[in-house]
Amino acid sequence: MLDNLNLGNLTELFSRAEKQMRAMGDAAEGERYEAKSGGGTVKVVANGKSEIVDIDIDDSLLTDKESLSVLLIAAINDALAQATAGRSQAAMKMMSDLAGLSG
């Protein structure tokens, strides 16, 4: 079984995978995922690494702590879900590309 294993090809495949993973991480940092709640009164932006990079809150919510809290949580969760989905899609594309290289 190991007689047919070509270590040169395997090393090249791992090298390409590593380069693609680095590129994917760099690209993820530049991606932006925006989520709004409360009809746009709360806006949250996350990057592709699931880091919150911006929050915008309408002044009308500043006196209603409970509503602000609920809307902020909803927007944060939505932005993070979008970032996670974006990373999953990028990983699936990378795996697909690597599968093409191994054949």
What total of structural domains would you count in the chain? 1
Q: Look at residue 1 in the predicted model and tell me its pLDDT.
A: 44
Which CATH number characterizes residue 57's domain? Answer: 3.30.1310.10
For residue range 24-82, what is the model confidence (pLDDT) as tens digits?
777 777 889 999 999 999 999 999 889 999 999 999 999 999 999 999 999 999 999 99
For 25-38, b/e burial (b = at least 16 CB within 10 A) is: eeebeeeebebbbb
2 domain-assigned:
no
Query: 88 or 56: whose pLDDT is higher?
Result: 56
Domain that holds residue 51: 7-102
